[in-house]
């Protein structure tokens, strides 16, 4: 999991959370956990896109955009490299 501070390098959000599930089931579980936890706090996404089966789910909360990838999709899209000018706030191996 990576938390990137995109302020100053991105016009549409302040932070990216990028995480990886090792299976379709794990991607879905991560997305469900994030969605349920934030919903309890009355925080709803502005937009959701993708499915666990596609290998990439995006949850747009405005100031924070969450990307949940399957491992193959994360390796393919390389968002960490694409946004390399953003400041890494947290990296969990």
What is the CB neighbour count within 10 angstroms for residue 70?
21
Q: What pLDDT score does 93 carry?
A: 84
C-beta of residue 70 within 8 angstroms of C-beta of residue 23? yes
Q: How far apart are CA 85 and CA 83, in angstroms?
A: 5
The mean pLDDT of 59-74, rounded to a whole number, is 97
Give tens-digit pLDDT for 23-51: 999 999 999 999 999 999 999 999 999 99
Give tens-digit pLDDT for 11-27: 999 999 999 999 999 99
List the domains of the chain with CATH numbers: 2-9+19-91 (3.30.460.10)
Percent of the chain with pLDDT strictly greater than 90? 98
Q: What is the mean pLDDT of the chain?
A: 97
**25 to each of 43, 63, 75, 82, how far by Cα in Å?**
24, 27, 18, 27
């Amino acid at each position: 999991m990576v938390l990137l501070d995109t302020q100053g390098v991105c016009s549409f959000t302040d932070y990216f959370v990028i995480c990886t599930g090792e299976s379709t089931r794990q991607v879905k579980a991560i997305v469900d956990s994030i969605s349920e936890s934030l919903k309890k706090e009355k925080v709803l996404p502005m937009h959701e896109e993708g499915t666990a089966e596609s290998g990439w789910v995006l949850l747009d909360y405005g100031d924070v955009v969450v990307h949940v990838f399957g491992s193959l999709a994360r390796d393919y899209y390389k968002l960490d490299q694409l946004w390399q000018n953003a400041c890494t706030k947290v990296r969990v191996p």
